[in-house]
């Protein structure tokens, strides 16, 4: 049984550091040429409750680690430039984290009869008012109607040039160079396939790509807030 709290999160990062892994953002990983060994990408998809990122950032600050935080805009349950949200995102930036766009532009456009590219460009424009945005990660709700990833994959060369993007989070070069680790429900919160410890213990020291959703993680236990 994994307790998805900050003690457990710190233990994962300590284990990775002790095993010789270097923490990098996704943008740095791409710039380094997709190194297939000894690098550790931490990715946070901020689906809701951005202030939940604060406790995670405190751990990363103490570990001298940094992550890539994907922020939602259209269709979001939060306002990315609301007081609490913006403060949490800015705190991440202060310790060297990277901010990216978490987008469901296809779904939002179809539901609201909009041009999908108008949605995507508007999301990027808003976030780029405050942050440097090099990458995007498609968002998909559990009960999704449409998925933006196929469109991103199919038109990536065009999108990357038009919107001045360096990468998207499911780029095959990133996935092929790493062991992908993420949490989900089966039926309770757990690691979907491998745990971070499984990946860290790989004798080949393959680079690791760990995705978390901060609103599922807590300082001590999941009933400490009313969120």
- Which pLDDT value is given to residue 1? 56
Per-state percent for the chain, helix, strand, coil, to nearest 5 = 40, 20, 35
What would the two tokens of residue 196 be? Answer: 């971070």
The C-alpha atoms of residue 87 and residue 54 are separated, in whole angstroms, by 9
The answer to whether the predicted template modeling score (pTM) of the entire model surpasses 0.75 is yes
53-63 helix and 6-18 helix, angle to the nearest 10 degrees: 30
Pairing of the two strands 133-138 and 167-168: parallel
CA-closest candidate to residue 68, choices 40, 49, 87: 40
Residue 227, pLDDT score:
47
Domains of the chain: 6-212 (3.20.20)
* CA 6/CA 59 separation, integer angstroms: 7
Q: 162: closest CA among 205, 118, 210, 131? A: 118
Per-residue pLDDT of the chain (227 residues; tens, 9 = 90+): 568 999 999 999 999 999 999 999 999 999 999 999 999 999 999 999 999 999 999 999 999 999 999 999 999 999 999 999 999 999 999 999 999 999 999 999 999 999 999 999 999 999 999 999 999 999 988 778 889 999 999 999 999 999 999 999 999 999 999 999 999 998 889 999 999 999 999 999 999 999 999 999 999 988 887 44
Report the C-alpha gap between 18 and 109 in whole angstroms.
45
Query: Three-class SS of residue 186?
Result: coil
Q: Is the dihedral of CA 43, 77, 138, 88 positive or negative?
A: negative
């Amino acid at each position: 049984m994994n307790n998805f709290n900050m003690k457990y999160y710190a233990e994962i990062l300590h284990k990775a550091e002790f095993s010789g892994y270097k923490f990098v953002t996704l943008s740095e990983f791409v710039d380094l040429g997709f190194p297939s060994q000894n690098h550790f990408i931490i990715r946070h998809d901020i689906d809701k409750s951005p202030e939940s990122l604060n406790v995670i950032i405190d751990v990363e600050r103490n570990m001298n680690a940094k992550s890539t935080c994907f922020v939602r805009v259209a269709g979001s349950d939060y306002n990315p430039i609301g007081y609490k949200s913006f403060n949490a995102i800015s705190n991440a930036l202060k310790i060297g984290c990277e901010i990216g766009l978490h987008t469901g532009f296809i779904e939002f456009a179809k539901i609201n009869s909009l041009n999908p590219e108008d949605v995507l460009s508007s999301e990027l424009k808003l976030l780029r008012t405050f942050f440097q945005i090099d990458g995007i990660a498609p968002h998909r709700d559990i009960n999704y109607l449409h998925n933006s990833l196929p469109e991103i994959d199919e038109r990536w060369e065009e999108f990357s040039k038009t919107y001045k993007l360096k990468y998207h989070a499911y780029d095959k070069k990133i996935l092929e160079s790493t062991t992908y680790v993420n949490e989900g429900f089966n039926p309770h919160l757990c690691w979907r396939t491998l745990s971070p410890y499984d990946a860290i213990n790989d004798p080949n020291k393959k680079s690791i790509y760990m995705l978390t959703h901060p609103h599922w993680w807590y300082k001590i236990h999941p009933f400490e807030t009313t969120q």
